[in-house]
């Protein structure tokens, strides 16, 4: 999916640079200046959508949030006769599954393990979730698993993403902390961000996803006025 979006972006005139870690990002009051992969870029807008590493960008602009890495656990089976006609997910059950045209079933659930930079699938998690998947989809009982994988995603305390404008810097937009749901939400979020950049507004309500929710504090209580003591 990501390579397809990259190809579409290139076709529309975007420059796509892979394996280009951001070394510096700042705003001079007018434009953003970014150093990445040995390249210097300037822009009027900056979108921080760096996934599990987006907090390092947010921190440069004074907006680090309480986000932790998580490691989704996924695997794929050998090709099987078609039997899953829709993408399936068990709410609260930790199992989701879909079947591709070739017949392979892509299944996920639970967490792998990692160090914040890299993720690995967990054998124990795969076994436990596969038992649940077989109870949901009996056709999986004799299926061979041919590959497992994991990755690194960012998870916020309320499990909701951060989407929208920065509190500290004009023309800085955040889109990260999807807490395991980014693959599903990314196309729609991209459209919302494009609206904000090109028109300055969007009809999609974003208040619930504001980065400001992690910085709100109760207003201090004003002290009671003290009576003057006559001398």
Closest CA to 28 of 65, 54, 63, 61: 61
Domain coverage including residue 186: 16-66+157-213
90-108: pLDDT as tens digits: 877 689 999 999 999 999 9
Backbone angles phi, psi at 82, to 5 degrees: -60, 130
21-36: pLDDT as tens digits: 999 999 999 999 999 9
Please tell me the number of Cα atoms within 13 Å of 187 on its side-chain side: 6
Are 55 and 65 within 8 A, CB to CB? yes
Are 72 and 78 within 8 A, CB to CB? no
106-128: pLDDT as tens digits: 999 999 999 989 999 999 999 99
201 assigned to some structural domain: yes
Whether residues 91 and 133 share a domain: the answer is yes
Distance CA 82, CA 77 (A): 13
| Number of domains within the chain | 2
Which stretch of DSSP H or E encloses residue 189?
helix 182-199
Q: Supply the pLDDT for residue 108.
A: 94
174 assigned to some structural domain: yes
pLDDT reading at 226 higher than 60: no
Whether residues 85 and 124 share a domain: the answer is yes
Mean confidence (pLDDT) of the chain? 91
Closest CA to 43 of 55, 65, 25: 25
Closest CA to 147 of 117, 126, 128, 133: 126
pLDDT reading at 223 higher than 50: no
Bridge partners of residue 95, in order along the sequence: 90
Whether residues 124 and 92 share a domain: the answer is yes
Whether residues 81 and 138 share a domain: the answer is yes
User: How far from 78 is each of 110, 116, 172, CA to CA, in Å?
Assistant: 21, 30, 44
Q: Supply the pLDDT for residue 183.
A: 80
3 state DSSP class of 207: helix
pLDDT reading at 219 higher than 80: no
Average pLDDT of the residues in 192-197: 97
pLDDT reading at 227 higher than 60: no
Q: Supply the pLDDT for residue 31.
A: 98
Q: Supply the pLDDT for residue 39.
A: 95
Q: Supply the pLDDT for residue 1.
A: 81
Q: Supply the pLDDT for residue 217.
A: 54
Whether residues 85 and 59 share a domain: the answer is no
pLDDT reading at 222 higher than 50: no
Closest CA to 116 of 70, 56, 72: 70
What is the model's pTM?
Answer: 0.84
């Amino acid at each position: 999916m990501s390579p397809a979006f990259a190809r579409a972006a290139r076709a529309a005139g975007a420059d796509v640079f892979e394996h280009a870690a951001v070394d510096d990002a700042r705003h001079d009051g007018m434009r953003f200046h970014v150093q990445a992969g040995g390249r210097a870029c300037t822009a009027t807008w900056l979108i921080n959508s760096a996934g599990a590493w987006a907090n390092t960008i947010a921190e440069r602009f004074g907006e680090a949030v309480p986000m932790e890495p998580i490691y989704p656990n996924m695997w794929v089976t050998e090709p099987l006769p078609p039997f899953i006609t829709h993408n399936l997910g068990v709410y609260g059950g930790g199992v989701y599954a879909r079947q591709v045209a070739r017949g392979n079933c892509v299944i996920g659930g639970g967490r792998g393990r990692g160090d914040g930079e890299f993720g690995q699938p967990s054998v124990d998690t795969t076994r436990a979730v596969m038992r649940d998947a077989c109870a949901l989809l009996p056709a999986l009982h004799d299926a061979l698993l041919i590959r497992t994988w994991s990755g690194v995603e960012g998870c916020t305390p309320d499990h909701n993403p951060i989407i929208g404008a920065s509190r500290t810097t004009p023309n800085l937009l955040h889109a990260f902390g999807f807490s395991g749901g980014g693959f599903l939400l990314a196309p729609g979020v991209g459209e919302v961000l494009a609206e904000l950049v090109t028109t300055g507004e969007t009809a999609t309500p974003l208040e619930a996803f504001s980065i400001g929710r992690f910085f709100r504090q109760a207003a201090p209580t004003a002290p009671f006025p003290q009576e003057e003591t006559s001398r």
